[in-house]
Amino acid sequence: MKKNLVIFFLTTFLVSSSLADARQNDLLNLVEVLNDNGTITTMQYEELKDGLSANTPVQKDPEITDVQVSTKGGIEIATCDGQYAFELGGRLMVDAAFYDQDRNDHGNGTELSRVRIDIEGVLHGDWGYELGIDFADGGADIKDAYVSYDAFWPAKIQIGQFKEPFSLEALTNSKYITFMERALPHEFAPGRSIGVGARSHGDVWSAAAGLFGEAFDDDVKDEGDEGWGMTGRATFSPLHSETRVMHFGAAASFREPNDEKKVRFNQRPESHITDIKYLDTGKIDHTDRVMKYGLEAAGVFGPLSLQGEYISTNVSRDGGSEDCSFDGYYVYVSWFATGETRPYKEKKGGFGRIKPKSKNGALELAARYSMMDLNDGSITGGKEENSTFGVNWYINPHTRLMANYILVNNDKHADADGDLAGNDDPKIFQARFQIDF
């Protein structure tokens, strides 16, 4: 016996109640006509009319609230009064990479790069939460895990683990990024930490700031305090119509590391199946504090869009060690051969989901140049310049096939902190199939 249910939509109610009202009027008309004609007596008329008006609709129990249930591959439920909601979705990304090696060995192979479950909800109207867990490594990596409060107008408060507000590309959901991996300077972005933040926005601006400890998995041993930081970002979009966007942003982040006083910057060559990180400063000791600055700009002109960021990182050291400073940037251009436009989300100052115009999906061509320089003074973490060419086929709004070809250009210091040969210039072909629900 199948326990099942076919639910029907509000037309049920509309049809039945509007018809009922209509019928009520029909009858009343008829009864009045009969009375006018003298066909029925006044007493009969009154009786009939009273009978009609007694049939008032049954009142709905105010304790019981209507809900909406829907699916776009996941599940969503919300009460119609907006007080409670729940949504479960996820994403699955399957990657393969082939390395045209130069001086060091990479391993061709396959990978599940993201196997993510995302839950979010609303409670008591003003409270929300978001919880994302990634299983791709065979463990369970907590991504977003925060509570938000909306009624402290005009700001939205967040408590828990979430992305520090820094870098347009870092803040763009991995489901929507234009290339398979974010650009080299993404290593400088602070990522997710546990903390408290606030965000607000107007018509042409957004701002977010927060006070943060470390991420859930960065706990230092007992002996020392955790590091902490403050990060803020502001964006300005003087123009954002459906097909035209101009976006500018700036961000700054201060961080004091934990009592070990060490920081390390290292980065893969925009390819995740290899574990090689050419760029690697090693652990920089005597680190007193780290300041980061980011500048971002983006423009959308119908199917064409441009985006770029520059990030500078300054490490202040004590104990006689010299300060050091690193930076990186990227610029890219994307063009939809099928005419779609990258959708701008002015509230967050970022980009969202592509919805193909055609049944055959959307086709996007893109090219990116990125640079990251980890050489400064006695720190020789290496310098890398990558040129990437990408094709994305958005088969439908939830399914995407991506292919990237990357030309890597390393300097002699880009030797994985001494473990590899420098001046290695491999070429990488990688592809991804992704679905989200």
Q: Residues 247-260, buried b or exposed e (16+ Cβ, 10 A)?
A: bbbebebebbbbee
Phi, psi of 43, deg, nearest 5: -65, -45
Q: Which is nearer to a second copy, 159 or 291 (CB)?
A: 159
Distance CA 169, CA 185 (A): 10
**Closest CA relative to residue 293, chosen from 402, 400, 167, 389:** 167
CB of 405 to a second copy, least distance (A): 19
CB of 315 to a second copy, least distance (A): 22
CA distance 233 to 166: 6
- Nearest-Å Rg of the Cα atoms of the chain is 29
72 binds a second copy (CB under 8 A): yes
Q: Of the two residues 58 and 203, which places its CB atom closer to a second copy in the complex?
A: 58
- Concatenated DSSP letters of 41-64: -HHHHHHHHHHHHH-PPPPPPTT-
Question: Between 348 and 398, whose beta carbon lies closer to a second copy?
Answer: 398
Work out which of 100, 102, 141, 425 binds a second copy, going by CB under 8 A.
141
Residue 41 or 358 having the CB closest to a second copy: 41
343 binds a second copy (CB under 8 A): no
Instruction: Give min distance, CB of 165 to a second copy, in A.
Output: 18
Distances, alpha carbon 173 to alpha carbons 46, 66, 96, 163, 177, in Å: 67, 32, 21, 11, 7
Asked if 42 interacts with a second copy (CB under 8 A), we say no
Cα angle 257, 252, 382 (rounded to 5 degrees) comes to 65
Among 46, 103, 140, 244, binds a second copy (CB under 8 A): 140
In this chain, which of 170, 180, 189, 194 binds a second copy, going by CB under 8 A? 194
Of residues 2-21, which lie at the interface with a second copy (CB under 8 A)?
A: 2-20
Site for a second copy in 49-68 (CB under 8 A): 51-52, 54-55, 57-61, 63-68
- Here the tokens at position 218 are 């960065």
**Between residue 366 and residue 425, which ones bind a second copy under the rule CB under 8 A?**
395-399
CB 435 within 8 A of CB 94: no
- How far apart CA 286 and CA 281 sit, in angstroms, is 14
Tell me: does residue 96 bind a second copy (CB under 8 A): yes
Please report, as residue ranges, which positions from 201 to 230 form the binding site for a second copy (by CB under 8 A). 213-214, 216-217, 219-226
Restricting to residues 252-281, which ones interact with a second copy according to CB under 8 A? 258-259, 274-276
437 binds a second copy (CB under 8 A): yes
